[in-house]
Structure 1
Amino acid sequence: MERLKLYILESYNELVTKVTWPSWSNLQSSTVVVLVASILLALVIFLMDVVSKGVLDQIYSL
């Protein structure tokens, strides 16, 4: 039980003193970058899906 208590205490201490958390503005800008990249990737995958469906429809109609 003592080892678990020590582990929790050390983990908390590490989170409070050793971890560098981003500033609010840095966090917001990073979030915007991730959202834009995710939307672009989703659009690319959607376009690939539409194109491949069109190609397969043409092949199957032969």
Structure 2
Amino acid sequence: MAGMANYIKESFGELKNNVTWPSWPEAQRLTILVAVFSIIFSLIIWGVDTVFSEVIRAYFNLM
């Protein structure tokens, strides 16, 4: 159990002292960028899914 406590203590020390955190404006900009690309990617997947659904529906209607 002492090993786990030591691991957590060292992890917090690592995050506090060795990680370079972005500034608030940069974090906001990157968050917006991720949100925009997520929306674009989801719309692309929705479009491909819709096309494949119609192709499969047309195929089975022919049979």
* Deviations, residues 15-53 of structure 1 (Å, cap 9, x unaligned): 211111110111011001110111011000100111011
Gaps of 5+ in 2: none
Q: Which secondary structure state, in structure 1, belongs to the residue aligned with residue 54 of structure 2? A: helix
Trace 1:21-36 onto structure 2 (pairs within 5 A): 21-36=21-36
**How high is the TM-score relative to the length of structure 1?**
0.81
Q: Percent identity?
A: 40
| Counterparts of 2:49 and 2:3, CA distance in 1 | 53
- Corresponding residue for residue 40 of structure 2: 40
Q: Which secondary structure state, in structure 2, belongs to the residue aligned with residue 61 of structure 1? A: helix
**How high is the TM-score relative to the length of structure 2?**
0.80
